[in-house]
């Protein structure tokens, strides 16, 4: 009996299979489907190139005088205080729907829309405004503080002894001793632009705006006796002294000139 030559048979089948593979049409690659709006995929290439990169609100104004770029950890209240404005005004000028939703890198207008900012950094407002000429809020162009309160006639906001004086690096105001519940007084006529506890390190805080140049801040209170937008008179009791967000009962008092902390002792009468 003659057995078939399986090696020859296997080789012949393998050759047939290879030949069939070489003569058949190559399989077309699966089409690349674009499922990402705003992203174009190049033919025969899966590398996605984003054409519409996200731009944060106000990005076109970055670096311009009268605008401020939000930094990490900042709040609208802090930005308003540092620029001598009301947080409500910043919301209105920038069309912000929520004061708690600002993003790092977002650019905010920090001067009134009616004002123009010259190349020198001077903010010029139309005649009839309370302040016709006002230096810009950028620290780089701030003039040195001068003991000129523009006729406001600041008074001491509390009667206690002085605990800590002004230091631009460590203490941006005066710390005044007292007992819990002692009266805290408005240092000059003004309007309440902030009353709350949303600014870290200040506890229960009141901020008064006196004109387009000066703000005053009253921190660590145990009770706030005025509301936002309320007008107050010089010497009016606006809060009760406390120790919220502080190590002892005291009033931390600041005067801000165009947003920049200045030494209140230069503006208050001698005791």
Q: Would you state the pLDDT for residue 268?
A: 97
**Residue 64 confidence (pLDDT) above 70:** yes
How long a stretch of residues is the chain? Answer: 271
Q: Would you state the pLDDT for residue 56?
A: 84
Q: Which of 7-11, 51-55, 112-116, 132-136 has the lowest mean pLDDT?
A: 132-136
**Residue 4 confidence (pLDDT) above 70:** no
Decide: 225 and 205 in contact? Cβ < 8 Å: no
Q: What is the CATH number of domain 59-141?
A: 3.10.350.10
| Cα–Cα distances in angstroms (integers) from residue 100 to residues 65, 73, 91, 194, 233, in the given order | 24, 12, 10, 14, 30
d(CA 68, CA 7): 83
**pLDDT 10s digits, 26-44:** 444 444 444 444 444 444 4
**Whether domain 162-266 has CATH 3.40.50.1370:** no
H or E element at residue 166 = none
Please state, for a pLDDT cut of 90, what percent of the chain lies above it.
62
Where do the structural domains in the chain lie, given as residue ranges? 59-141, 162-266
**pLDDT 10s digits, 146-159:** 478 899 999 999 99
**pLDDT 10s digits, 168-227:** 888 999 999 999 999 999 999 999 999 999 999 999 999 999 999 999 999 999 999 999
**Residue 19 confidence (pLDDT) above 80:** no
Beta strand spans in 36-182 (E): 39-41, 48-50, 67-69, 107-109, 116-117, 122-124, 133-135, 162-164, 174-177
Neighbour tally for 50: CB within 10 Å: 10
**Residue 74 confidence (pLDDT) above 60:** yes
pTM: 0.69
Helix and strand numbers (H, E) in the chain are: 3, 18
Residue 177: CA atoms inside 13 Å, Cβ hemisphere, count? 5
In whole numbers, what is the pLDDT of the chain averaged over residues?
79
């Amino acid at each position: 009996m003659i057995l078939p030559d399986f090696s020859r048979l296997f080789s012949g089948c393998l050759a047939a299979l290879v030949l069939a593979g070489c003569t058949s049409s190559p399989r077309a690659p699966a089409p690349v489907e674009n499922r990402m709006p705003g992203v174009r995929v190049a033919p025969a290439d899966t590398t996605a190139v984003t054409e519409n990169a996200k731009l944060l609100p106000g990005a076109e104004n970055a670096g311009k005088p009268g605008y401020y770029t939000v930094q990490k950890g900042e709040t609208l209240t802090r930005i308003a205080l540092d620029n001598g404005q009301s947080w409500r005004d910043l919301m209105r000028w920038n069309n912000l729907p929520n004061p708690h939703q600002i993003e790092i890198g977002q650019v905010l207008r920090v001067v009134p829309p009616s004002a123009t900012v010259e190349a020198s950094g001077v903010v010029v407002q139309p005649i009839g405004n309370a302040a016709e000429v006002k230096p810009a809020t950028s620290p780089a162009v701030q003039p040195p503080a001068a003991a000129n309160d523009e006729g406001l006639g600041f008074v001491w906001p509390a009667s206690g002894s002085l605990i800590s004086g002004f230091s631009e690096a460590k203490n941006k105001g005066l710390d005044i001793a007292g007992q819990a519940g002692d009266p805290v007084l408005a240092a000059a006529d003004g309007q309440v632009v902030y009353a709350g506890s949303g600014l870290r390190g200040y506890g229960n805080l009141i901020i008064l705006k006196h004109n387009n140049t000066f703000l005053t801040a009253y921190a660590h209170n145990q009770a706030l006796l005025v509301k936002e937008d309320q007008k107050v008179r010089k010497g009016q009791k606006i809060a009760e002294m406390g120790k919220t967000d502080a190590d002892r009962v005291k009033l931390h008092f600041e005067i801000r000139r165009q947003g920049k902390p200045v030494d209140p002792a230069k503006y208050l009468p001698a005791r």
